[in-house]
Chains A and B, each alone.
Chain A
């Protein structure tokens, strides 16, 4: 955890008071609804289909137990006893009242949290690899950089009225678990030939109506120059990003229209105009931020745990869960545990207040008081002793939180869709529930292996359908929900946009359609070949033929 200093704490308090004042001025008519809208959005407050929705920022997905309990308290007091984790490592309350929001923000500020810039045409909450500081393939922990960007982008005087939203992700690892290439701007900590660490900067990725893969604009930006570089990028975007059409207003369209080289040239010119910077000051601030993170006090443990091995041998269900839900920790004797929020037939990413309170306790008992939120809408207990895994699992089983499906076909990402969202054109949650019910059998899931299904209820792609191995996009055609299915998307460092398989299918037909694709894979895969690798080897065309052919037979 990053610990706020007095400046950070005062800033968040002032932001709450500012919003309280804005709400008051909306209610007394000083602000029109049109004027108020961008102001409430920049504090995470949306007006949805049935009610307001408040999106809480969880910077780079990191929380402690105290914060988690406070979120549970808010869920009980101001929502309907549950909360929803999003694909940007944030949390949403679906039923707050406008007049209560300033009080909710105060409760968040009590635990160093806020809703700043979780929405609106500004620099959004910064995301990062959920295994930051844990993963063995990491060059450097990305969280201090993410925190530096969080602070720098907060209430930015120049970049709070951008053409459109601006999403930033940071990773310090070789493998991409932060969806870097689908972000407006992404930073990858890299090491150059001289052995120095610096930043690779990608710009212009994004999903939505026009999906694009981010492009490298700087392959090695020396440390200390990050904020000046970001300022230059943002200035070029703010000045030149399109404002005539909201669907063409993201930076990806600007980069695409003028070309990467022209974009780079403008950024470099802007850097020259900014003039001299003080890399030393930025390095010092970065070091201060890094030091303000809690030191994680690991014990010296053996790399293997007899207790864990024995529990696996004794209990097949535990062994199954351990096989799917554990991630190797860089420290001997520990594992990072992904706790699936995708029970069979459940709502992806939902958690009850009671579960949240229990989870907070488990984080304290088993994970050195730390919790992470993943963009796949799951939670992570990042530092669990191998010796404790079985005890933890027993507790999770009691709380209905022990679903053994991380990375499998029922670990589905889904946006809130037409059940909540004002933009949605179709439902997503019931589709996820139907697929997860269809593939509920654990043995079958294990046989299928890693397969990511991602569902969006509209073209804006909050459910990341473009980068799902199987993507599902819900549209509305002549008053009916229609689901387009794509294949071959990839959310990793090999990022790829999926290809459309054919005409849309009805909601009822989706599970059958998924099953046809899976059956084709199972029939044609090589030994141990993963779904995505079979798709790449055979090509989408062959799957398309199978998909369409079977569809004809079914008709």
Chain B
């Protein structure tokens, strides 16, 4: 797997562990059933959790303050549930790192970022075929979205509204 974000391919500083692992890494991603144990060990490390795309927002919300990262698994790139889960987690107030894990392709980079993901962990086979330059280009292919409240860019609806109020330069 390779990790990438807005700026390029990155080294993954998180290590995947289970409840039993007594590892020395200070950044861990654990499965949900290991979360309680790793959080309570309190060894001044950053803990993330990897969940399926049907995970419960309410259950995760209990840990928002302690979680450095939530990784959402995409079983296939055509399965868009992860986008909705990311959106729900952001709506529910999660401010940590959101990672999409699975066979996403460059053309979904913009979707993922707009729904609240910060980074993508994709199979090497895909990233080798689609180097970061393709992700960057695909991610920037639509400069302004219509939808409000998704991407960092000011939406078309919002730009029009500001235009009406004479604030075009915003």
Taking Cβ atoms with an 8 Å cutoff, the residues of A that contact B are 5, 7-8, 10-11, 14-15, 17-18, 21-22, 25, 29-32, 35, 38-39, 121, 151-152, 154-162, 235, 238-239, 243, 273-275, 281, 284-285, 288
Q: Is the CB of A284 within 8 A of B77?
A: no
Q: Is the CB of B111 within 8 A of A7?
A: no
Q: What CA separation (Å) do A238 and B54 show in the bound complex?
A: 11
Q: Is the CB of B91 within 8 A of A38?
A: no
Q: Is the CB of A157 within 8 A of B151?
A: yes
B22 within 8 Å of A (CB atoms) = no
Q: What CA separation (Å) do A256 and B98 show in the bound complex?
A: 34
CB-nearest residue of chain B to A121 = B78
Q: Is the CB of B138 within 8 A of A273?
A: no
Q: Is the CB of B161 within 8 A of A18?
A: no
| Chain A to chain B contacts (Cβ below 8 Å), 27 pairs | A5-B160, A10-B144, A11-B146, A18-B138, A18-B141, A29-B129, A30-B106, A30-B130, A151-B156, A154-B146, A157-B110, A157-B111, A157-B147, A158-B80, A158-B84, A158-B111, A158-B150, A161-B77, A161-B83, A161-B111, A235-B84, A235-B88, A273-B88, A273-B92, A275-B91, A285-B160, A285-B161
Q: What CA separation (Å) do A375 and B120 show in the bound complex?
A: 42
Q: Which residues of chain B are near A274, meaning CB under 8 Å?
A: 91
Q: What CA separation (Å) do A319 and B114 show in the bound complex?
A: 58
Q: Is the CB of A25 within 8 A of B78?
A: no
Q: Is the CB of B115 within 8 A of A157?
A: yes
Q: Is the CB of A281 within 8 A of B111?
A: no
Contact partner of A151 among B105, B110, B138, B146, CB < 8 A? B146
Q: What CA separation (Å) do A360 and B141 show in the bound complex?
A: 34
Contact partner of B111 among A5, A22, A121, A160, CB < 8 A? A160
In this complex, how many residues of chain B approach chain A with their Cβ under 8 Å: the count is: 41
Q: What CA separation (Å) do A235 and B89 show in the bound complex?
A: 13
Q: Which residues of chain B are near A121, meaning CB under 8 Å?
A: 78, 80
Q: Is the CB of B138 within 8 A of A239?
A: no
Q: What CA separation (Å) do A7 and B130 show in the bound complex?
A: 29
Taking Cβ atoms with an 8 Å cutoff, the residues of B that contact A are 54, 77-81, 83-85, 87-88, 91-92, 105-108, 110-111, 114-115, 129-130, 134, 137-138, 141-147, 150-151, 156-157, 159-161, 164
Most interface-central of B80, B108, B142, B157 (chain A CB within 10 A): B80
Given contact pairs A151-B156, A154-B146, A284-B164, A239 touches B92 in the complex (Cβ within 8 A): no
Q: What CA separation (Å) do A294 and B72 show in the bound complex?
A: 47
Min CB distance A360 to B, Å, is: 30
Q: What CA separation (Å) do A274 and B90 show in the bound complex?
A: 10
Q: Which residues of chain A are near B54, meaning CB under 8 Å?
A: 239
CB-nearest residue of chain B to A37 = B78
Min CB distance A21 to B, Å, is: 7
Beyond contacts A121-B78, A152-B146: 5 other A-B pairs, Cβ-Cβ < 8 A, are A7-B159, A25-B130, A155-B142, A158-B111, A239-B54
